[in-house]
Amino acid sequence: MRSPLVVGNWKMHGDLAGNLQLLQQVIAGVPAAGAVDMVVCAPFPYLEQVRNLLAATPVGWGAQTLSEHAQGAYTGEVSAGMLREFGCRYVIVGHSERRALFSESDEQVAAKFLAACNAGLVPILCVGETLAQRESGETVRVVEKQLQVVLDRAGVERFSSAVVAYEPVWAIGTGRTATPEQAQEVHVAIRSCLARLDQQVASGLQILYGGSVKAQNAGEIFAQADIDGGLIGGASLVADDFLAICQAANR
């Protein structure tokens, strides 16, 4: 049985005072009973604040990206080892904004995924198609290709301590969500892709849906058999909304 997981992706939002208020409200509202795991992924400068505030709570935390390199002359980059030494557990890898705005290739995403695994971090690997790709019927092919490059580089066993997030690019921050059935179809494709290599890893893999998940639509999305939780952008910045989404995943 896969436990549900809800990850908040703050993106480049926040400030010390606002983060404090948000996290205090989240901590106060953590569902008392149940199995949902909660994680927040903050910008680098706020990781220390987040680490300190969440230390004695059940809420986990992580970063939003990392370098594929271990160390060296890579000005501005942060390595997996640095994150791990700092106490970080999770890291988002290959978010579509990184792929589109910072030209991260499938190969680079795979290298980052492997770097995270090698350092003992849990990578949250994002995959997803653009609107044009969906409209031309390429969704499953695109997602499988993104996944395959990581599988080739890192091996299926690495997915036993990783998370995958299906995030259709056209649904991120747009207010447009995939229907629960559309999302479920892609989640099944992702799980099948892994199952061809390792049935056990595939059935234990947490696959999150991301893209305009709100308190109002979370329940029907999380009700799908292969949707194990969510990667939440905008709604993770509002404590009540984030908590309501976590509650919806708490089954």
Name the burial class of residue 242, with classes exposed (0-12), middle (13-18) and buried (19+) by CB atoms within 10 angstroms of its CB: buried
* Count of positions (residues) in the chain: 251
Q: Is 14 in the site for ligand PGA (CB under 6 A)?
A: no
**Across the chain, how many H-helices and E-strands are there?**
11, 8
Token pair of 131, please? 């609107």
Active site residue 144: no
C-beta of 211: minimal distance to ligand PGA in Å?
5
C-beta of 169: minimal distance to ligand PGA in Å?
9
Q: Is 229 in the site for ligand PGA (CB under 6 A)?
A: no
Could you tell me which residues come within 8 angstroms of residue 162 by beta carbon, excluding any fewer than 6 positions away? 113, 117, 122, 123, 124, 125, 205
CB 80 within 8 A of CB 115: yes
What is the Cα 207 distance to its own chain's centre?
Answer: 9
C-beta of 62: minimal distance to ligand PGA in Å?
13
Q: Which of 95, 97, 129, 187 is catalytic?
A: 95
Q: Which of 183, 232, 243, 245 binds ligand PGA (CB under 6 A)?
A: 232
Q: Is 8 in the site for ligand PGA (CB under 6 A)?
A: no
Q: Is 40 in the site for ligand PGA (CB under 6 A)?
A: no
CB 121 within 8 A of CB 154: no
Q: Which of 110, 147, 172, 207 binds ligand PGA (CB under 6 A)?
A: 172
| Catalytic sites, residue numbers | 95, 167
List residues binding ligand PGA (CB under 6 A): 9, 167, 172-173, 210-213, 231-235
